[in-house]
Amino acid sequence: MGVHRSGFRPLLLNEFVRYACDTLEANGAVPRGEEEWIPEPGDLRIPLVRGDVCDLKMGYLEGAVDLLAGGPPCQPFSLGGIAKGDEDKRNMFPEMFRAIREIKPKAFICENVRGLLRPSFRPYFDYITRELMFPFEERDPEASWLQHDAILKAKEERGDPRSAERYQVFAFPVNAADYGVPQIRNRVIIVGFRGDLDIDVNLLKQATKPTHSEKALHRSMVSGEYWDRHNGVKLRPRVPKHVERRVMDGLASPLPFEADRGELKPWRTLRDALAGDQDTVPLREVPWDWLDRVQHEGMLKEHIGWPDARIYPGHTPNVLDRPAKTVKAGVHGVPGGESVMLTDTREGTGRSSTYRHRYMTVRETARVMTFPDDWELCGPRGEQMRQLGNAVPVLLAKVFAKAVAAVLDDVENRS
């Protein structure tokens, strides 16, 4: 959706998970079928192939694709040995390399967890980037990744950087909150451009600079602008003074006001997401007696209260006046405290008072992932939450896809 909203026209979707495929079809995708076809300009159909990407042939798209976008799963790797058997079979980066070989796109985007940049994984991450640089240098089935990496290193040193069979690769460690997503989500986004394109690297870097900051959020709270804004939202309750005092007491002091004054917007908080903006309406508060798994009249679809929320050590809840915690897929949907939020409702008095908590609804979680309210999610609640946890926030994807579009447009205008 982020790529589509940045101006690209989808030519093919592939997804493995059944409920995720159902969701894509519910939002406009159509089964491609066995026949290989490419939608013409003006054709609003978005072809979807259900199933394992390992079985998907993509060569028919060669020459037609500007941008290949994907989030190949990369499960933990053992670096204790060098045999190829040490690699997790669920690693789908080899399929990303194959897709690039078959399609030969002008550019690509990959998204993955920030953990790939940890020292223990860094050697394999560097290998991934070199594979993306040289996707046409296929790995011998009998070779370990370390053996293949040695070949790629030698090619990097002597190869022609302007070759059409080589890509310029850029890795961006990002926090989604720095781009206006109401969620702390640390990821690495890898962007590549075909070597024969004369790209403007500075344009790419400028187009992917952060737009929001925590410091700006703190300033808006201290100035009162944040609280005034939320106390004027229709359909949402006013922020109690005791909540405002608690939040302000918890701010870092002294606040570093000068570092980015006037340059960046405030981080968006969970409260901001629920209150909506120019594109979304405020989400109604879920009454406490509606934590009953029922879709009540007057509530947006999937804005359904769920009972029995718990918080416990290691699973602390979301708070309203910070970006939400990372939405995770988990084994059975979003796990533990990641899907629980503290509310403004206080129980008790004085030092013994506590704040009530509840599960976030599917629709609230979708807001945190910056999906629009009309995006339909299929399957039971746990599967809907899993889809959201596995997704890329729409707004974050849009920022990087728009940056790629700007770079490609610049190349075309100068050619």
Cα separation, 384 vs 388, in Å, equals: 6
For 16, the token pair is: 């493995």
Amino acid sitting at position 220: S
Rg of the chain over Cα atoms, rounded to whole angstroms, equals 23
Neighbouring-strand partners of residue 337: none
Closest among 59, 80, 23 to 385, alpha carbons compared: 23
SS3 label, residue 14: strand
- Active site (catalytic) residues: 74
Burial degree of 321 (CB within 10 A; 0-12, 13-18, 19+): buried
Cα separation, 248 vs 252, in Å, equals: 9
CB atoms within 10 A of CB 404: 27
Q: Which contacts (CB < 8 Å, 24+ apart) does range 376-380 have?
A: 376/23, 376/26, 376/27, 376/301, 377/23, 377/302, 378/19, 378/22, 378/23, 378/26, 379/19, 379/22, 379/23
| Whether the Cβ atoms of residue 176 and residue 182 lie closer than 8 Å to each other | no
Burial 198-226 (b: 16+ CB within 10 A, else e): ebeeeebeebbebebbbbbbbbbbeeeeb
DSSP 280: B
> What phi and psi, each to the nearest 5 degrees, are found at residue 34?
-75, -25
Closest among 105, 147, 108 to 127, alpha carbons compared: 147
- Sort strands 265-266 and 212-213 into parallel, antiparallel or unpaired: parallel
Cα separation, 33 vs 16, in Å, equals: 15
